[in-house]
């Protein structure tokens, strides 16, 4: 499996974990959610940056459209994953 594919899977996994944690802890701040997600990841720093970007995207969508299901939000994140990756690489 290629490095980029692994990174994309990690991003989706991180976004999914963030949404799950948010559902269980509705008053949790974004920073707390990110800390939780990062503590559950076993990855390199560059992959963690991409994971944080995916988590932020998922939380932003959830905030804007609270009636969307987690599945819908993850689909949007997946559809935008290339754009998210390009942004993280551009900002390095």
For residue range 11-51, list pLDDT tens digits in order.
999 999 999 999 999 999 999 999 999 998 876 777 788 99
On whether the CB atoms of residues 19 and 33 are closer than 8 A, the answer is: no
Half-sphere exposure of 72 (CA within 13 A, CB side): 8
Give the lowest-confidence range in 27-36, 71-80, 83-92: 83-92
The closest of 14, 19, 81, 83 to 43, measured between CA atoms, is: 14
State the Cα–Cα distance between residues 79 and 8, nearest whole angstrom.
11
């Amino acid at each position: 499996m290629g490095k980029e594919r692994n990174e994309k899977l990690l991003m989706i996994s991180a976004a999914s974990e963030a949404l799950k944690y948010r559902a269980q802890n509705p008053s949790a701040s974004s920073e707390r959610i990110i800390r939780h997600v990062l503590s559950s990841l076993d990855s390199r720093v560059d992959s963690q940056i991409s994971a944080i970007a995916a988590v932020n995207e998922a939380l932003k969508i959830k905030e804007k459209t609270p009636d969307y299901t987690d599945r819908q939000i993850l689909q949007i994140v997946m559809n935008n994953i290339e754009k998210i990756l390009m942004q993280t690489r551009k900002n390095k």
